[in-house]
């Protein structure tokens, strides 16, 4: 019999796709809208990592917006004067827009990481249906 990595007395329900260890129902969680199976250790580890990266992403977003405003304000001046700097400003602007988009997508994706469900609860619900 396969047993839980943490509870030698309990049979394993599923292996965690992140650390590929076998766990019992009590050690597993379902995370996000897609209800991805994850063990509690990996959830704690990954959500801490995501929280840290989210802070960084908010700072990038803020800086990106500030940069973009500065570029747009100066861009009209440079563009009207047909300055050779206009190309640099366009490239910078495109780069910053891209970075803002990527960071917003990631922040939206990781928002569902706060939504967790107990693995056992879902199993019981499935049995009832
Ligand atoms: Zn795991
Ligand atoms: Zn367990």
Whole-number pLDDT of residue 57:
93
Residues with Cβ < 8 Å from 71, sequence gap 6 or more? 89, 92, 93, 96
Residues 28, 13: Cα–Cα separation, whole Å: 9
Contact 107, 57 (CB under 8 A): yes
Q: Which ligand is nearest to the CA of 39?
A: 1
Q: Which residues of the chain have pLDDT under 70?
A: 1, 75-76, 78-83, 122-129
C-alpha 70: how far from its chain's center? Answer: 29
> What are the domain boundaries of the chain?
14-113
Whole-number pLDDT of residue 77:
72
Residues, Cβ < 5 Å to ion ligand 2: 4, 6-7, 24, 27
Whole-number pLDDT of residue 129:
45
Whole-number pLDDT of residue 71:
81
Q: Cα(73) to centroid of ligand 2, in Å?
A: 58
Q: Which ligand is nearest to the CA of 15?
A: 1
Q: Which ligand is nearest to the CA of 29?
A: 1
Any alpha helices (H) in 18-118, and if so which ranges? 40-80, 85-111
């Amino acid at each position: 019999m396969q047993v839980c990595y943490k509870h030698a007395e309990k049979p394993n329900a599923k292996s965690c796709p992140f650390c590929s260890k076998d766990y019992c129902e009590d050690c597993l969680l379902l995370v996000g809208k897609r209800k991805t199976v994850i063990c509690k250790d990996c959830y704690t580890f990954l959500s801490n990592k995501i929280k840290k990266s989210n802070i960084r992403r908010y700072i990038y977003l803020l800086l990106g917006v500030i940069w973009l405003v500065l570029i747009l304000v100066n861009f009209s001046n440079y563009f009207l004067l047909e300055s050779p700097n206009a190309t640099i400003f366009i490239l910078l602007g495109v780069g910053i827009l891209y970075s803002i988009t990527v960071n917003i997508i990631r922040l939206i994706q990781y928002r569902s990481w706060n939504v967790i469900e107990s693995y056992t609860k879902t199993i019981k619900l499935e049995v009832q249906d």
